[in-house]
Amino acid sequence: MESDFSFVKNKIYRKLIWDDIHVFLSVAHSGTLGNAAKALGLGIATVGRRVERLEESLGQRLFVHHQSGYKLTTEGKALLPQAEMIEASVVSLFSRATEPKEIAGSVRLATTEMLANELILPALYQLQENHAYLNLEIVTDSKIVNIHQVDADIALRLVKPERGNVTVRRLGVMGFGLYGSKEFIDNNKFASQEQLYTQGRFIGWTKQQSHLPTAKWLKDKLDGKPLILETSSLASHVAAVNAGAGIALLPHFVANRRGLVCLDIPSDIDYPLWLVTHSDLSHTPRVRAVSEFLTKLVHSNANILAFPVSYYEGWSLMGNELGT
């Protein structure tokens, strides 16, 4: 399929278009021209002109200006993943061109225990094969590590930092679904999603985590129905569902690895994955190597992170049976 950027024909225009894509990403992630201008070290008027130039080149409106800032149009949202991949490729290109033959030293990576155990560690051998002298320290403390104060060199996190001397990039999206084990679903045979929510056994968060979007969503769906199990960790949710104890709202990629079956998908619970680096360290070879590894890792798992592998088809089948 031909890319939306395939109209670029010469080297000079390629440079101009990359600058415009870089500006497009900054406005999309920051939400305003002012924030983007500050992050890029450009004037607000210059940022506005770059956006207009890209829109004119593509023949598409990419943003709608609201009182709260700039919001992506449908066309802008469609281009965002492609632009992020272009950015990752450019970063990778310049990293390879300037990187010394051997990268050595230690990098402290802060992330969640879930992302460390389920996404990063299974692929860690790739980083080790390419950089045998690079030491990685992974911190999975429940508190938010302060990159600005150099508690860590780099972070892969679900919450975007609002301030500090940091460089922030959106790598992808982690989606959630309502999952059960195949055995649990076969044994219960819910006739409809309505029956699932009224008669199903649900696993959720304790009161201390009731502020989480996933906890709020499930509470609204159950409409007063009590949980059969409350835990304070996602690992416990996964273990309980895997053991057939009930149904829980889980990240797609975690459930996919265990062969769990998706019963429903919330329309409004997606967590962006943010790569955060200390601005003073972002161009050092050791930090760049880990940044490139994480970027490729998230992009190569984009579909598994965002969508279910196995979705329950019994609703339509049972609907057909009831209608006969």
CATH number of the domain within which 83 lies: 1.10.10.10
Residue 318 and residue 209 share a domain: yes
My answer on whether 189 and 316 are in the same domain is yes
Residue that is last in its domain, among 43, 72, 96: 96
What does the pLDDT read at residue 88?
77
Separation between Cα atoms, residue 10 and residue 205, nearest integer Å: 55
Residues 155 and 218 in one domain: no
CATH of the domain at 162: 3.40.190.10
Do both 263 and 276 map to the same domain? no
Q: Cβ atoms within 10 A of the Cβ of 100, count?
A: 7
| Same domain flag for 146 and 214 | no
Per-residue burial over 45-59, b = 16 or more CB atoms within 10 Å of its CB, e = otherwise: eebbebbeebbebbe
Q: Is residue 52 part of a domain?
A: yes
Give residue 128's pLDDT.
92
Query: What does the DSSP 8-state code read for residue 210?
Result: T
Is 206 part of a structural domain of the chain? yes
The structural domain count of the chain equals 3
- Same domain as 319, residue 209: yes
Classify residue 159: in a domain, yes or no: yes
| Domain membership flag for residue 131 | yes
Evaluate whether residue 6 is within a structural domain: no
* pLDDT value of position 194: 87
User: What pLDDT is stored for residue 159 in this prediction?
Assistant: 85
CB 95 within 8 A of CB 292: yes
Q: How far apart are CA 24 and CA 29, in angstroms?
A: 9
Judgement on whether residues 248 and 160 belong to the same structural domain of the protein:
no
pTM summary value = 0.64
Q: Is residue 196 a part of any domain in this protein?
A: yes
Tokens of 93: 């290109």
Confidence at residue 192, expressed as pLDDT on a 0 to 100 scale: 86
1 in a domain, yes or no? no
**Helix/strand/coil percent split, the chain, to 5:** 50, 20, 30
Residue stretches of the chain with pLDDT short of 50: 1-3, 5-16, 144-145, 147-150, 317-324
In a domain, 5, yes or no: no
- Burial class (CB within 10 angstroms; exposed 0-12, middle 13-18, buried 19+) of 22: middle
Are 188 and 213 in a shared domain? yes
Full residue range of the structural domain in which residue 34 is found: 11-96
Both 87 and 152 in a single domain? Answer: no
Note whether 144 and 238 are same-domain residues.
Answer: no
Looking at residue 247, its pLDDT comes to 96
Identify whether residues 226 and 156 lie together within a single domain.
Answer: no
The pLDDT value recorded for residue 101 is 56
Assess whether 218 and 313 both reside in one domain.
Answer: yes
| CA atoms of 168 and 5, how far apart (whole Å) | 24
